[in-house]
C-alpha cells in the first residue's frame, strides 16, 4: 500500500477473526485437561440420567480428578470433546475477540475516539453474538467431557454423532440449552476483559509509555542499526 510500510498496515477484520480463533484453539489444546477436570468436578455426585461420572470414583481437587481419570479411563479421556472444543474456540473466540474492533467502529461510526459506552456496547454485542453462534459446540463439548470412557455405555460415539443424537432426541433446541445465562455471562465477561484492555492500552499510548506497533525486526538485529 502506498504511504504505508509493511509494519504500519493495520490487520484486516479477516486476519483478526482468524487470528483470534487460531490463538484460542492453541490455548485450548494446552488447557483442555483442566477444563475436563472442571466439568467432572462440577457434575460429581450426579448418578441419575445419561451422564456417567468417572466410573463411580470420588474425585478430590483438580490434580486428583486428572489422576483418577487417567487411572480409570486412560489418558485420552482428558481430551474427551476436544474436537467440539476446538470448533467452539474457532467460532466463539473469532467472533468475541476478532470482531470487537469492527463492531466498535460500527458503533462509533468510524470515529477515532470511542467512548466508554461504545466500547461496552461492542463488548456486550460480540460476547452475546459469539455465544449464539457457538452454543451447540459448547453443549457437545460438555456432554463429551461429562461421559466416562470406562465400562462402555458411551452415549455419543463421535462429534457428528453427538450433534445428530441431541437434535434427534431433544430437538434442535437441545443444542442451544443454557443459551440465555451463557449470553448474559459472556456479555459481561467480554466487557470486563476487552473494554478494560482497550482502555488501558489507550492510556499507555496517550502517556507515550508504549507505541501502537513494534519497530521493524531489523531494528533489533545487531549490525543493522
Domain residue spans in the chain? 113-208
Place of cell 470420588: 58
Which backbone phi and psi does 208 adopt, to 5 degrees?
A: 60, 30
Q: Which run of H or of E encompasses 32?
A: helix 13-43
> What's the pTM value of the predicted model, to 2 decimals?
0.78
Find where cell 433446541 sits.
173
Provide the grid cell at 42.
Answer: 462440577
| pLDDT tens digits for range 140-155 | 999 999 887 655 567 8
Q: Which helix (H) or strand (E) holds 159?
A: helix 159-170
Q: At what angle do helices 82-96 and 13-43 cross, to 10 degrees?
A: 130
Please tell me the predicted confidence (pLDDT) of residue 57: 56
pLDDT at 149: 60
Provide the H-helix boundaries in 44-77: 61-73
Instruction: Please tell me the predicted confidence (pLDDT) of residue 51.
Output: 47
Task: Write out the three cell numbers for 101.
Answer: 474492533
Q: What does the pLDDT profile of the chain (225 residues) look like in tens digits?
A: 445 455 557 788 899 999 999 999 999 999 999 999 999 998 887 654 444 444 455 667 889 999 999 998 899 999 999 999 999 999 999 999 999 999 999 999 878 788 899 999 999 999 999 999 999 999 999 999 988 765 556 788 899 999 999 999 999 999 999 999 999 999 999 999 999 999 998 889 888 877 655 444 333 344 433
Who contacts 179 (Cβ-Cβ below 8 Å, separation ≥6)? 131, 132, 135
Asked if residues 81 and 144 have their Cβ atoms less than 8 Å apart, the reply is yes
Amino acid at each position: 500500500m502506498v504511504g504505508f510500510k509493511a509494519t504500519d498496515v493495520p490487520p484486516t477484520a479477516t486476519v483478526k477473526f482468524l487470528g483470534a480463533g487460531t490463538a484460542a484453539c492453541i490455548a485450548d489444546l494446552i488447557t483442555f485437561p483442566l477444563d475436563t477436570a472442571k466439568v467432572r468436578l462440577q457434575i460429581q455426585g450426579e448418578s441419575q440420567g445419561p451422564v456417567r461420572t468417572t466410573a463411580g470414583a470420588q474425585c478430590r481437587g483438580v490434580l486428583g480428578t486428572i489422576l483418577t481419570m487417567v487411572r480409570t479411563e486412560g489418558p485420552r479421556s482428558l481430551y474427551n470433546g476436544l474436537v467440539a472444543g476446538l470448533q467452539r474456540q474457532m467460532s466463539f473466540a473469532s467472533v468475541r475477540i476478532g470482531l470487537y474492533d469492527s463492531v466498535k467502529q460500527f458503533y462509533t461510526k468510524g470515529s477515532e475516539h470511542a467512548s466508554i459506552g461504545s466500547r461496552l456496547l461492542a463488548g456486550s454485542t460480540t460476547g452475546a453474538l459469539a455465544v449464539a453462534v457457538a452454543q451447540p459446540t459448547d453443549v457437545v463439548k460438555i456432554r463429551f467431557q461429562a461421559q466416562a470412557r470406562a465400562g462402555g455405555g458411551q452415549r455419543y460415539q463421535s462429534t457428528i454423532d453427538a450433534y445428530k443424537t441431541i437434535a434427534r432426541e431433544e430437538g434442535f433446541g437441545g443444542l442451544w440449552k443454557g443459551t440465555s445465562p451463557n449470553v448474559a455471562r459472556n456479555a459481561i465477561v467480554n466487557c470486563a476483559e476487552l473494554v478494560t484492555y482497550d482502555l488501558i492500552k489507550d492510556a499507555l499510548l496517550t502517556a507515550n509509555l508504549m507505541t501502537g506497533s513494534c519497530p521493524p525486526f531489523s531494528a533489533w538485529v545487531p549490525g543493522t542499526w
